[in-house]
Amino acid sequence: MAQWKCSVCGYIFDETIGDPKAGIAKGTPFETLPDTWTCPVCGAGKEAFRKMSADDIHAGSVTTVSDVMVAELVAWGVNIVFGLPGTSSLGLVEAIRKNPEIRYFVVRHEENAAFAASAYHKLTGNIAACLTIAGPGATNLATGLYDAKEDHASVLSLNGQVEAQYTGPGGVQEIDQDAFFRPVTVYNNTIYEKNLAILLLTRALRYAKIERGVAQISVPNDIQKQPLDTRFCTRESCLCGPDILPSDELIKTASVTINNAKKPVILAGWGSYPDGQKVLALAEKIKAPILTTFRAKGVLPEDNPWVVGILGNVGSPHARNLVNEADLIITLGVGFSKFTNVPMEKSFVQVDIDPLKLGKNRQTISLWGNCSHVLPKLISLLPEQDERGIQKRLAAIKKEWDLQRDNEADSSATPLRPPFIMKVLSDVIPSDAVISLDVGENQWWFGRNFRMKQQRFAMSGYLASMGFGLPGAIAAKIAYPGRTVFCITGDGGFSMAMADFVTAVKYNLPIVVVVLNNHQLGMIQVEQMMEHYPNFATDLLNPDFARYAEVCGGIGIRVSRPDELKPALLTAMSHRVPVIIDVETDPKRF
């Protein structure tokens, strides 16, 4: 049985398949087709078809470059792929279709694919991949991949590329992808020789894991479909994870410094997020309050007596007072964002896995290593400290801060006030839920007024990109299908990504999207006020988000009165389909 290719559009007539839509049975020779038969894609006649040679045919029984690459991804534990298929990636897409151990989630915009992949790593520590076409598919990934770069999330970006013989001026959807991705990636390459495919793919995965960033591989369309015998391939392997410890002598020096401090404060950052109990053990032993960065919110339940809350512009004044009074700050995986505003004149004991973040000043004792390994050794060298009345002071501080936030949560105001919304969310969202947080005014209120229990949450940290919330929630539900997943977003951020609500419906991902709908780019409005500009260009004309949910196949609930919010949240969590709760919100601050 032969295959014939249309010289106009490239459609292939396979004699083993026939043309069922035209009533052409399997096994029908091309020469016997009626003269009236035309290409089912472009309508060209039989004369436009040419018989394909054996070298042109990539039969399903042949193991292709794409098949081998996808199998290698699975072997490395990469089994989630987000993206959009297209001409220059069809070989890779077909390989995913044939492999039952990997799933391809098709989104409506590639930026959301990259955000979802970034969120997946932030929430699980595992790599997810993006798979898109050359040119616009690749460029659309940029914002989401930059989020992964800035927050050190390991992501693999696989991109189709035009066939090698077509590269050059006049190529359609062809850009220099190596140059385009260079500023975003820790590893970046194009596979121009099929025998190097596995070597370059495994090298990319190594870099993504070890360098904690984005690795990009472009695969030309023709290379994807070529047969590949793995006996002629080389590959690289990778450490399970870097286990780094400073010297015993340096840890001992740090323990002496901590022991001599009169007012130590612990500042827990994202790098300590998996080690909340070790952070607590340190606090209990040296009797020091625990502050966190925004990204580390929830490293421990916020009702823990040692946890004061966030240090930074969404934190409490009490947290700022404690750090200003401190004679030593113990930073654990802290990125030193300007929004945390750590006082740099202080003495530090600094633990971080990134050596470039160490040594913030001359009074710093730098401990290069994982918090999970450093903290037990450090704690073992520290004597139990006297309580020194700190617990009584912390209890008073926490009570005063809770009372202030309770007073802000006006349960009678309409439209609903953000402090009230966050209080109800704090009460209702289950302790094992996963929260994807968007950027904007809603983020400010979440950081300040939401009270974390044991929930896990992710956000766009250093890039601070609006639109992260919805794709992050989609990734969260894929990662944790048995948990309740919330997206907390504003009307501005949600409208940037809202097309992919249908993706949640399509893949039966029952997430709850809470839209704080104040008809404003609220954070920009505040920034204009702070800089004494008149309010301008921040008003939003919004659709009915609840009705939008319904037409997408989900459920929509509108909330305009305070007494409607809690029932709406409870109802949303009971449904097995995605839900949008459109909450009419007041843009005023307090």
Strand-by-strand arrangement of the 579-584 sheet: 456-459, 434-437, 485-490, 512-517, 579-584, 555-559
Q: Residue holding tokens 């196949």?
A: 553
Q: Is the pLDDT of residue 588 over 80?
A: no
CA 9 from centre of chain = 38
The predicted model gives 3-32 an average pLDDT of: 92
Q: Which fold is adopted by the domain 409-584?
A: Rossmann fold (3.40.50)
* 407 HSE (CA, 13 A, CB side): 6
Tens digits of per-residue pLDDT, 58-114? 444 589 999 999 999 999 999 999 999 999 999 999 999 999 999 999 999 999 999
Are the folds of 248-393 and 409-584 the same?
yes
Q: Is there a contact between 401 and 318 (Cβ–Cβ < 8 Å)?
A: yes
Q: How confident is the model at residue 175 (pLDDT cuts 50, 70, 90)?
A: confident
H-only helix segments in 99-176: 110-124, 136-140, 142-150
Helix (H) or strand (E) holding 187: strand 185-190
Q: Which fold is adopted by the domain 65-232?
A: Rossmann fold (3.40.50)
Strand ranges, E, within 38-138: 49-51, 80-83, 103-106, 128-132
- For residue 163, give both structure tokens: 């066939």
Helix (H) or strand (E) holding 350: strand 348-352
Tens digits of per-residue pLDDT, 563-586? 999 999 999 999 999 999 999 998
Read off the DSSP letter of residue 416. B
The predicted model gives 547-557 an average pLDDT of: 98
Among 432, 351, 385, smallest CA distance to 281 is for 385
Read off the DSSP letter of residue 436. E
End-to-end CA, the chain: 75
Q: How confident is the model at residue 167 (pLDDT cuts 50, 70, 90)?
A: low
Q: Is the pLDDT of residue 164 over 90?
A: no
Tens digits of per-residue pLDDT, 349-403? 999 999 999 999 999 999 999 999 999 999 999 999 987 889 999 999 999 999 9
Q: Where are the domains of the chain?
A: 3-56, 65-232, 248-393, 409-584
d(CA 580, CA 523): 22
Query: Which is more confidently placed, 229 or 139?
Result: 139
Q: How confident is the model at residue 590 (pLDDT cuts 50, 70, 90)?
A: low
* 128 HSE (CA, 13 A, CB side): 32
What type of residue is 27?
G
| Residue 325 Cα distances to 262, 335, 346, 347, angstroms | 10, 21, 10, 12
How many other C-beta atoms lie within 10 A of the C-beta of residue 588? 12
| Residue 277 Cα distances to 240, 304, 376, 493, angstroms | 23, 11, 11, 34
Strand ranges, E, within 447-575: 456-459, 485-490, 512-517, 555-559
Q: Is there a contact between 290 and 302 (Cβ–Cβ < 8 Å)?
A: no
Q: Is there a contact between 148 and 208 (Cβ–Cβ < 8 Å)?
A: no
Dihedral of the alpha carbons of 337, 338, 340, 343, in degrees to the nearest 10: 110
pLDDT at 570: 98
Strand-by-strand arrangement of the 12-14 sheet: 12-14, 3-6, 49-51
Tens digits of per-residue pLDDT, 33-46? 999 999 999 999 99
- For residue 465, give both structure tokens: 């990109």
CATH for the stretch 248-393: 3.40.50.1220
pLDDT at 243: 81
Q: Is there a contact between 103 and 80 (Cβ–Cβ < 8 Å)?
A: yes
d(CA 34, CA 502): 43
d(CA 434, CA 356): 31
- For residue 532, give both structure tokens: 């004494």
Q: Is there a contact between 50 and 7 (Cβ–Cβ < 8 Å)?
A: yes
Q: Is there a contact between 334 and 352 (Cβ–Cβ < 8 Å)?
A: yes
CA 481 from centre of chain = 16
Asked if residue 415 has a cis previous peptide bond (ω within 30° of 0), the answer is yes
d(CA 390, CA 382): 18
Task: Give the 3-state secondary structure of 466-501.
Answer: CCCHHHHHHHHHHHCCCCCEEEEEEHHHHHHHHHHH
pLDDT at 59: 47
Tens digits of per-residue pLDDT, 453-507? 989 999 999 999 999 999 999 999 999 999 999 999 999 999 999 999 999 999 9
Contacts of 331 by beta carbon, 8 Å cutoff, 6+ apart: 267, 269, 342, 348, 349, 350, 351, 352
d(CA 556, CA 546): 4
> Helix (H, G, I), strand (E, B), or coil: what is residue 38?
strand
- How does the average pLDDT of the chain come out, rounded? 93
How many other C-beta atoms lie within 10 A of the C-beta of residue 464? 16
d(CA 470, CA 548): 15
Tens digits of per-residue pLDDT, 405-455? 999 999 999 999 999 999 999 999 999 999 999 999 999 999 999 999 989
Q: Is there a contact between 261 and 254 (Cβ–Cβ < 8 Å)?
A: no
Tens digits of per-residue pLDDT, 337-351? 988 999 999 999 999
CATH for the stretch 3-56: 2.20.28.10
pLDDT at 241: 67
